[in-house]
Amino acid sequence: MGWKRRVHASFDWIPVLDDNEEDQPLPDIRIQHTRVDLDESGRSLSTTSFVPAPASPAKKTRTRYDDFNWNNEPAPLELNTTNYPFLDPVYQHFLDVNEPGPPRRKRTTEDDPLRKWCENDRDRYLRELIRLDGRGESGVAAACGLCKVKEPKLRCEECFSGLMFCAKCLVDLHVCNPLHRIERWNGNFFEHTTLKDVGLRTQLGHRMGERCSNPATAAGDNFVVINTNSVHEVGLNYCGCKTAQHRTTQLLHARWYPATPVTPNTAATFNVLEYFHLLTFESKASVFEFLHALMRRKNNISITDVPDRYEEFLRMIQEWCHLKMLKHAGRGHDPAGVSATAEGECAMLCPACPQPGKNLPENWRDAPKELQFLYSLLLGADANFRMVHKKVSSKENDPTLSPGWSYYCEVKKYNEHLATGFEKEERSTCVNHHAMKDANKSRSANLASSGIGTIDCIRHNFKRPNSIGDLQKGEKYINMDYLFLSSMSHTKFVCLTMSYDIVCQWYLHLWERMLGFLQPLHIDLEGKTVTFLVPKFHLLAHVEKCQTAFSFNLTQGVRRMDGEAPEDWNHKKVIGLGSSLLRKIKNTVPERSEQVWSFLEFSKSLPADSVLKWSEMVERWEKDEDEINPFVATVTRVTQHGVQLALAQEDAANIEWEGGVTIHDDISPAMLITLGLELESQQVWLKYDSGKLDGSATMLQLAKMQERKNSLCRRINAWMTVQHLYMPEIAPYNLPLHLPSSLPARVPCPPTLLEYELKLRKAQCYEALDKLRDHLRLWTHMYKYKNKNIVGQRANTRCQNMIHSVQEKVNASATMYRTARAALMKLSSYSIDDEGWRVRLLTLDEEDICPLKEGEEGESEGTRTLSWIWKVVGVGGDSDNEGLQEALWIEWCRSRAQAMRFSEEVLFLHEEMRRVLAFLDWHAGWWDEQRFLFTGLSRDEEEGVIAYASKQAHIRCSMRSTFDRIWHSSHELIQLGIGANNNILDLDYAAGVDLLNPRLKNC
């Protein structure tokens, strides 16, 4: 399948870098214009010129959120390319494609470093690596590199010098570095040893260089420390003085984390814990793999000689992650202690989501109805069946460290609800969404949970507080209801958009089921609006009614989004908001201009009275969903059976006036052609089913296939007997079906049969396209579900076989269409029937057979160019045909919806930027307040509390300053983007958005 990259309309990006810079008028824009003419001989002549475009008369000043003014002037029906030349996407596309780029620089050897290294440096590098296995420059020295007296036999692999020292000097050099790796020269080669064997004793509880008057050796004198470079055996002495602190405190002061709180014999450095903590987010490495890699750094031949501290390190990393979560949430600054932590308090909040009291204006609840979508919350429910939990432990051996303090709901309350709850089976009014999930239920016998359910912020893909829980057997309402209500218990909202792949069934009795929950989980729905939608990918697996009623693209106020949430951790999303929102602005504003322009051009090409009628219809539906849905087709689709009925009625009329061909008493001409098409269809399916059988087929399968072949042969022979009566020129020497379309031009055929087959072939094409689209939808749903949820060889093989069988149906439907269309092409040369079908029933190439979600690279649902197979509806015909008119109004409504979604996206991005800055302001102030809450601490502890809170406040202020700087030049672009043609889309209220934005203070 060929892909091509789409070139979008572009804008001139003019950044303003300095607040103190004087306002200067924008320079004129020079636009390249190329004119192409044809002379009398047909040759093309091109003339290129540069046209200066005047800058906007408005004075260009640095625009902030607090003094931002919106363009509230009514926009003209046609784009003014004089003042805004960049708003013509076709012209911009021409410039983007034809503008000459910078000349390519001449390539040098530095452009191919790998080849250069292989040819010139590989042998030299290898010799240097081998040289380091010897003593190097120290081999000629007979004295220690430090004292210059004793014979040097030791060297450190970590130190930079690479010199060799005697034992005493090496110990003195490593008092501050007790975890370096040491090598000893045995006369022939270096062998590994330890600083403990050399004589180094690490003293805790005293300043560096001080000796303890009463040192206490670690138990067994076999203390093990895990570091980023290896697993070390250390000679460790605790302080045994009367004023000595607890041994674990001494270890923590040295930045060594003890494995146990009582008599620890193992520790891990803070460095290795921080390193592995980050590694789990980025590489998903397991504790076992990471620890064994460290053990092999000490001895890559036999790790059995290295102390195994797997269970200890596993426990330490669990405690470390828990403590870091508490630290980041400010729980160490609360005088009430960790035990006073509230549910969900440790979860990292989304700065761009509406957070009342943190990033919303005081009067946000009083926003006009047209602006309430700016403060709406967008959530999505989903499940992950790869996150299984085996029955390998118990609550006593593996206690919960943070019961409901962050993202998981409180386990005790959740399990009590599951134990007492009762789920009533509800009859589905849509497709069976659980058909594939049932296949995995057999795995749940040996699992504590078969997966997890979650409620996420689908706009920014953040995990929410108390919104994750274990699933026992599939996605049951009793699980997902609790997670949804638990997540909403932390939220104040006026508008909510909830996305779920089976929302069309789940939401029907949701509020009735809510009454069975405890009162704290109830939602007060008075004065609130809740919209339920299906994610764009999952929408294709639903019935046609759901595809319009629960569509993101067709619903007001949901902006440009898909309802799918990728997996990443919240911290990276926070620090990436600056670049992600800026990237969205750069992409959305030009795309919004293109979508609006496309919609206006489409509207101008249609009759004005039709556009007015459709506008009134779609506006009524947007206000009241009980009105007629303008996105649902009502014209009955063409089917082969429908045409059969029409032809049968036509035969009856012919018999009445005795003008028809009545050669056979039981089979009319129309029935002959109909039976021929059925036999042709059976030949196609029999061919594909026969191809599935391979050498592993059983005798029973082969016997059934042979019976099908014999039955088809008998039916073909009987059909050809009747065919010979109507078409005596055809002799049944071969099995091919000699339908009128397959006859050579020299063989005569009754015109009635030609007309009958022409009508039936049209219907067969439409029906084959319907089947092709249905099979593509099913294939897409099954393939995506397999990648996300199916694990294990058995389940994968079973699912892959199902996908393969669907692919065979896709191929068969495509073959059926191509056969029918080829017949149509030949029949049209004999018929006087209109050939309007040619513009709808196009040639089906392989690149046309693609799922609805696939398009050009980088395109999405609202921007892509669809394959023509998804645009064929109704019978078609002239412009007065009802099916064509309905197709036009549906396409017009969709074009309008796309333009409105992009307009809403521009407004919402502006609000998101404001919210992010306001949230960082609030969070910085919150950390400032934490500095002096905890009193009665020691001097060192108090200084640490103040320092950490000050650092966190500084980080938020720095982030806010960075975001404000990189977003600064986008503000004017946003204003121009929403200022064009708002009245066409009924978005002229956009000018009032800034009235609700309070002034933001600077950090």
Taking 80 as the threshold, does the pLDDT of residue 505 lie above it?
A: yes
Whether the pTM exceeds 0.85: the reply is: no
Distance CA(230)–CA(291), nearest Å, equals 9
Taking 80 as the threshold, does the pLDDT of residue 789 lie above it?
A: no
**Is beta strand 447-449 parallel, antiparallel or unpaired with respect to 389-390?**
antiparallel
Name the band, by pLDDT with cuts 50, 70 and 90, for residue 388: confident
**3-17, 842-856, 936-950: which has the minimum mean pLDDT?**
3-17
Share of the chain above pLDDT 90, in %: 24
Taking 50 as the threshold, does the pLDDT of residue 988 lie above it?
A: no
Can you give the pLDDT at residue 962? 92
- Of 401 and 644, the structure prediction assigns the larger pLDDT to 401
Can you give the pLDDT at residue 992? 39
**382-386, 665-669, 753-757: which has the minimum mean pLDDT?**
665-669
Q: Which residues, listed in sequence order, are joined to residue 377 by a DSSP beta bridge?
A: 496
What are the Cα distances from residue 425, in Å, to 88, 476, 478, 509, 543? 55, 10, 11, 12, 20
Question: Residue 316 CA to chain centroid, in angstroms?
Answer: 33
Name the band, by pLDDT with cuts 50, 70 and 90, for residue 732: very low
Q: Give per-residue pLDDT as tens, 356-371.
A: 989 998 888 888 877 8
Q: Give per-residue pLDDT as tens, 674-696.
A: 777 777 777 777 777 777 777 77
Taking 90 as the threshold, does the pLDDT of residue 316 lie above it?
A: yes
Taking 80 as the threshold, does the pLDDT of residue 979 lie above it?
A: no
Distance CA(728)–CA(734), nearest Å, equals 15
Taking 80 as the threshold, does the pLDDT of residue 886 lie above it?
A: no
Taking 70 as the threshold, does the pLDDT of residue 854 lie above it?
A: no
- Of 463 and 273, the structure prediction assigns the larger pLDDT to 273
Taking 60 as the threshold, does the pLDDT of residue 71 lie above it?
A: no
Neighbours of 843 (CB within 10 A): 11
According to the per-residue pLDDT averaged within each range, which of 27-41, 415-429, 524-538, 781-795 is highest? 524-538
| Mean pLDDT taken over the chain | 76
Can you give the pLDDT at residue 551? 78
Question: Can you give the residue ranges of every domain in the chain?
Answer: 1-94+591-607+886-1003, 134-328, 364-575, 640-875
Axis-axis angle for helices 751-789, 669-692 (nearest 10): 30
Taking 90 as the threshold, does the pLDDT of residue 34 lie above it?
A: no
- Of 226 and 755, the structure prediction assigns the larger pLDDT to 226
Can you give the pLDDT at residue 81? 40
Q: Give per-residue pLDDT as tens, 908-935.
A: 888 899 999 999 999 999 999 999 888 8
320: tokens are 């470390």
Contact (Cβ atoms closer than 8 angstroms) between residue 412 and residue 435 = no
Q: Give per-residue pLDDT as tens, 597-645.
A: 777 777 776 778 878 888 888 888 777 777 777 776 665 555 555 555 6
Contact (Cβ atoms closer than 8 angstroms) between residue 145 and residue 152 = yes
Taking 50 as the threshold, does the pLDDT of residue 177 lie above it?
A: yes
- Of 748 and 385, the structure prediction assigns the larger pLDDT to 385
Contacts of residue 149, Cβ cutoff 8 Å, sequence gap at least 6: 143, 166
Taking 80 as the threshold, does the pLDDT of residue 489 lie above it?
A: yes
Distance CA(897)–CA(904), nearest Å, equals 10
**33-42, 529-538, 723-732, 879-888: which has the minimum mean pLDDT?**
33-42
Taking 60 as the threshold, does the pLDDT of residue 123 lie above it?
A: yes
Can you give the pLDDT at residue 924? 95
Distance CA(979)–CA(994), nearest Å, equals 13
- Of 766 and 155, the structure prediction assigns the larger pLDDT to 155
Can you give the pLDDT at residue 993? 40
Taking 70 as the threshold, does the pLDDT of residue 430 lie above it?
A: yes
Averaged pLDDT, 99-117: 75
Averaged pLDDT, 775-794: 70
Contacts of residue 559, Cβ cutoff 8 Å, sequence gap at least 6: 373, 459, 901, 904, 905, 908
Taking 50 as the threshold, does the pLDDT of residue 672 lie above it?
A: yes
Averaged pLDDT, 527-539: 81
Taking 90 as the threshold, does the pLDDT of residue 18 lie above it?
A: no
Name the band, by pLDDT with cuts 50, 70 and 90, for residue 326: very high
**36-40, 164-168, 236-240, 570-574: which has the minimum mean pLDDT?**
36-40
Taking 90 as the threshold, does the pLDDT of residue 62 lie above it?
A: no
Can you give the pLDDT at residue 584? 86
Averaged pLDDT, 851-874: 54
Name the band, by pLDDT with cuts 50, 70 and 90, for residue 124: very high
Coil vs helix vs strand at 52? strand
What are the Cα distances from residue 906, in Å, to 171, 747, 821, 972? 65, 65, 45, 12
Can you give the pLDDT at residue 997? 38
Q: Give per-residue pLDDT as tens, 229-288.
A: 999 999 999 999 988 999 999 999 999 999 999 889 999 999 999 999 999 888 888 999
What sign does the CA torsion over 411, 413, 418, 420 have? Answer: positive
What are the Cα distances from residue 969, in Å, to 56, 213, 963? 16, 66, 11
